[in-house]
Structure 1
Amino acid sequence: MSGAASDLGWLTARPIAHRGLHDRTRGIPENSLAAFRAAVEGGYAIECDIHRTRDGVPVVFHDHDLERLTGRTGTIDALSAAEVADLRLFDTEEAPPTLAELLELVDGRVPLVVEAKGIDAATDAGFMADVAPVIEGYHRPLALMSFDEWLLDQTDGIGVPIGLTAEGTRADVLERHRAVFERRCAFVSYNVHHLPNAFVTWAREERGAPVITWTVRTPADFAQTEAHADQMTFEGFTP
């Protein structure tokens, strides 16, 4: 298990707002400071996504492509941090924040679960080296996670809990998850629609690792979380 993993009670103590407590009908886009502010005010933990800009700045943004969230063509990694700051999310005045801006806003009031979104191993060389100085002075509840093995492999020496984001039910996929988890991970974030499975059961029962689910939107999703995991990452309602 990676640094600061010995006590992860905070990770499962409260529901986790997926990309913040966003609501487009109220002009609050996903992964925006407005969504994170709403989550803090509601007392929810926050899940968010980060990419890296052309000039090495971690920014909070889910998609690699810009179009869905901004109406622009191109990709997030092709822009500088200054160019990202000029983007607007959906039809609002909200810009994608930097990770540093998110940390300043939250300031430990609720836990943060930050998912690093990779492109490929070559493009993402040094990704976590750019993240590390942003989070190193943030002595508050914060964890990093990723789907991408090459990003997880960059987390040596990062003093926060590291998690594996994963999905799938095939035996070979579950075995691969186990191998990746054993190298360096302290918790699991799993697709709620792929529970139960042997990997998640092993992680919880044999490794004592907390398991959070994504993304809970219905009572059935919530029931799956209650039966097979420890906390939910939710959206579309307020628990």
Structure 2
Amino acid sequence: MSLFKNRFIAHRGLHNNLIPENSLLSFSKALEYNYAIEFDLTITKDEKVVVFHDDNLLRLCNVDKDIENVTYSHLQELNLHNSNEKIPLFKEVLYLVNGKIALIIEIKKHNSIGVLEDNIVKLLNNYDGEYFICSFERNVLTWFKNNNPHLKRGLIFESNPKKFEKYNKILFLYKYYKTKADFISLDYKLLDSSVYDFCKKNNLELITWTIKNKEDYENIKKKVNGVIFEKFIL
């Protein structure tokens, strides 16, 4: 039986030109369709766990500062894009979802290994719902393997730049055996590759990202257990 009861996963919530990514509004829209949601966690200077994708605030908030160098009170002064939406706290997302849909929680690269992860675990200890931890970062997944091995962990993996593609499988195997992830979140461009073949041969659960139209979804839907999608409705 698959880990993923709902194979449809909204990438950073259901966002568009009017609804910012990783906002409470984007997650509310996903709830309306009963989609699982994928979102990103990082940490502020004063160790608040917040939902945000980038290292820097420039793209989404028009402020050229790294999020790890500012306090949460500073973030409260900012809006996401041209909306009235704010950067949410992780605990606000947990309160909003309240176990209604699954959470695919990506932990971004950060400088506070152990601090962010420990704070996440404390919040999840009081949460009654389905969730999965995932990351590109080996040290993040290793922390969870060593400290909270009961949590379901996913290794996110993407293709190397073209001239280094021949090293894809070697790098993947290194990260996989170091982290012993429970599932793999694989770049859809690798669904016809030796990395994919290894995952299938070893019966690893697979989700893929990021599918942006129904044609691409139809082409890959039988290959994976879950699909992270955006820009359209499945």
TM-score by length of 2: 0.90
Which consecutive unaligned segments of at least 5 residues does structure 2 have?
none
- Stretch of structure 1 that moved more, 47-56 or 131-140: 131-140
2:126 and 2:137 map into 1 onto residues whose CA distance is 25
Match of 1:59 in 2: 50
Write out per-residue CA displacement over residues 14-50 of structure 1, whole angstroms, 9 at most, x where no aligned residue. Answer: 30000001122xx311000000011011110000011
Q: Which amino acid in the other structure matches residue 210 of structure 1?
A: E
Aligned residues: 226
- Cα distance in 1, alignment partners of residues 201 and 129 from structure 2: 27
2:88 is matched with: 97
Cα RMSD of the aligned pairs, angstroms, is 1.7
Deviations 1:80-126 (A, max 9, x none): 1222222210001100101111011001100000100014xxx2332
Verify: 1:30 aligned to 2:21, yes or no. yes
Tell me the equivalent position of 1:19.
12
Residue type matched to 1:157 in 2?
N
CA distances 1:158-184 after superposition (whole Å, capped 9, x unpaired): 232100011116343322222322333
Aligned to 1:4: none
Cα offset, 1:238, TM superposition:
0.4
Match of 2:113 among 122, 125, 137: 125
Q: How does 1:60-79 map to 2 (within 5 A)?
A: 60-79=51-70
Greater mean deviation of Cα atoms: 168-177 or 128-137: 168-177
Partners in 1 of 2:31 and 2:61 — Cα distance?
Answer: 25
**1:168 equivalent in alignment to 2:156:** no
Is 1:140 paired with 2:129? Answer: yes
Which residue number corresponds to residue 199 of structure 2? 203
Gaps of at least 5 residues in structure 1 are 1-6
Match of 1:178 among 160, 173, 179: 173
SS of the residue 1:233 aligns to: strand
Tell me by how many angstroms 1:12 deviates: 5.1
Q: For residue 232 of structure 1, what is the aligned residue in structure 2? A: 227
* Matching residue's letter, 2:233: T
Q: Which runs of 4+ in 1 moved over 6 A?
A: none
Identity of aligned residues (%): 28
The alpha-carbon deviation at position 139 of structure 1 amounts to: 3.0
